[in-house]
Homo-oligomer: A and B are copies of this chain.
Amino acid sequence: AESPRTEWPMDKKLKPLANTPPSTAEILRENNNSSNMHNFEGPEKVFEVWFVPEKRSEATKMGLRAVKRSKWEYMLSLVKCQIISVVGNESLDAYLLSESSMFVYPRQLVLKTCGTTTLLNAVPEVLKIAKSVGLAVEDVFYNRQNFFFPDKQLHPHRSFSDEVKALDTYFKYGAAYIVGKLNGNHWNFYNAEKKHSVPEVNIEEDVTFEMLMTGLDAKSMRPFYYDPKLSSKQASKASGIDGFFPGAEIDDHVFEPYGYSMNGLVKDGYFTIHVTPQNSCSFASFETNIILQDYTELAIRVLQCFKPSQFILTLMGNRTSMQKLNRVSGTRYSKPGLDVRKLLNQDFHIEDDILLKFEHYDLIFLQLMKNHPENHPKRNNIFGADETSPQRGNIDPNSEASTQLLGSKSTVPGDNRDDRKEGSKKKGQ
């Protein structure tokens, strides 16, 4: 009953790699010669909706989980992606997609799609599906990192403004934020609908923890290249991913010629990882809603697996969760559920440290960067154009690409931060 395994989407012009796994040396050589043909948009669009029973109707206990697969398949066809496989337990169903993942709870849907998928085109169909099982929207979230290749996106994903405009046609009380540097990697975030007058008492814990990593260590990417002699389970083992949550039910997939996706189930929680290993646009995302008292050790394991030169970390939790999270008190780096000093000890420094407090949720946003990127494998400028080239002045100032380019020097992983020490001055000198 499974759909055929879909190939990792790529440019048709890409010469297929030999059907044998590349050596580390080959990966490095290939990466050094990488061109636009290898480009893939790893950063995912993430759409999350919480539902409540509609007025005067009684939703079944199964809610969205009662929806037929064919209905999801039609909805996903609007997004331009397919189901690869499904696993489930008594709490949720986890769909592995040709472009990322979908998680279905009775009253919650998380749809996460990468590449040039048109996620927001499926919103009306999602609402129709929910209505068919007696559910109405309570709370909506949409978020994504800035794209590497915004010009390759299809409407309405060409800019965050367009996305917000689309979302606002479906939902009330939308609030849109750009979190982090406009002229560096940042995170677009949208929330809508929940009424201010809803009393929040005895609400269950709800946390989403996410890490979006760029400039991945090429040598660590070997398990994410297809090898017909190895199973995807062996890729999860070789990379260390199968050890993140021992005992988890894991559904993993290595794409041809490269690329990796996995969903993991731990009781009523999930974790999901998607890797774009090619050096020209390397990206890995880690996301989980599994409740921990502290996310520091998990974050360190994820970092040790992918060795990014830079990453965004978000921790979003409702009031109940935030109060229960561990807190190392008395330091500037103390955050609920995170000991930031331990992350900095992995040779990172803080680029962005932002806290947004909403009525029902707090959002912690951190962006960390390697202290010594020169000790880290170099990678090409992902933006395609050299920022110092004459092209710079010709870029549409309103486009997403230009905000990435504007002053992006200090955020390019190849940048040597040490040159900042030259001519440093002390205030009051």
- Interface residues of A, Cβ cutoff 8 Å to B: 50, 52-53, 55, 136, 138, 159-162, 164-165, 168, 172-178, 180-184, 195-200, 203, 332, 349-350, 352-359, 397-399, 402-403, 406-407, 409-410, 417, 420-421, 423-429
Q: Which residue of B lies closest to A173 (CB)?
A: B410
Measured between alpha carbons, how far is A175 from B200 in the docked complex, in Å? 37
Q: Which residue of B lies closest to A136 (CB)?
A: B425
Residues of B within 8 A of A177 (CB): 178, 180-182
Q: Which residue of B lies closest to A354 (CB)?
A: B356
Given known pairs A165-B406, A183-B175, the reply for A203 and B354 (CB within 8 Å) is: no
A-B contact pairs, 19 of them (CB 8 A): A52-B425, A161-B402, A161-B406, A164-B183, A164-B407, A165-B402, A165-B406, A168-B183, A174-B407, A175-B183, A175-B407, A178-B178, A195-B425, A198-B424, A198-B426, A332-B357, A354-B354, A354-B356, A355-B355
Q: Which 9 A-B pairs have the closest CB atoms?
A: A398-B398, A168-B407, A353-B357, A176-B182, A174-B407, A355-B355, A195-B424, A161-B397, A52-B425
Within the complex, which residue of B52, B159, B182, B203 is in contact with A178, where a contact is CB–CB below 8 Å? B182
Within the complex, which residue of B55, B182, B353, B359 is in contact with A423, where a contact is CB–CB below 8 Å? B55
19 further interface pairs, Cβ-Cβ under 8 Å (given A164-B406, A197-B420, A332-B357): A53-B429, A55-B423, A138-B427, A161-B182, A173-B407, A173-B409, A173-B420, A176-B407, A177-B180, A195-B421, A196-B417, A198-B427, A199-B426, A353-B356, A354-B354, A354-B355, A354-B357, A355-B357, A398-B399
Measured between alpha carbons, how far is A30 from B203 in the docked complex, in Å? 51
- The reply to whether B138 and A425 form a contact with Cβ atoms under 8 Å apart is yes
Complex copy number for this chain: 2
Residues of B within 8 A of A172 (CB): 409
Residues of B within 8 A of A138 (CB): 425, 427
Residues of B within 8 A of A427 (CB): 50, 52, 138, 198, 200, 203
Residues of B within 8 A of A178 (CB): 177-178, 182
Given known pairs A197-B424, A398-B159, the reply for A52 and B175 (CB within 8 Å) is: no
Instruction: Report the minimal beta-carbon distance from A64 to chain B, rounded to whole angstroms.
Output: 15
Instruction: Report the minimal beta-carbon distance from A361 to chain B, rounded to whole angstroms.
Output: 11
Measured between alpha carbons, how far is A268 from B353 in the docked complex, in Å? 31
Measured between alpha carbons, how far is A175 from B349 in the docked complex, in Å? 15
Measured between alpha carbons, how far is A421 from B173 in the docked complex, in Å? 13
- The reply to whether B354 and A161 form a contact with Cβ atoms under 8 Å apart is no
- The reply to whether B420 and A195 form a contact with Cβ atoms under 8 Å apart is yes
Measured between alpha carbons, how far is A428 from B354 in the docked complex, in Å? 31
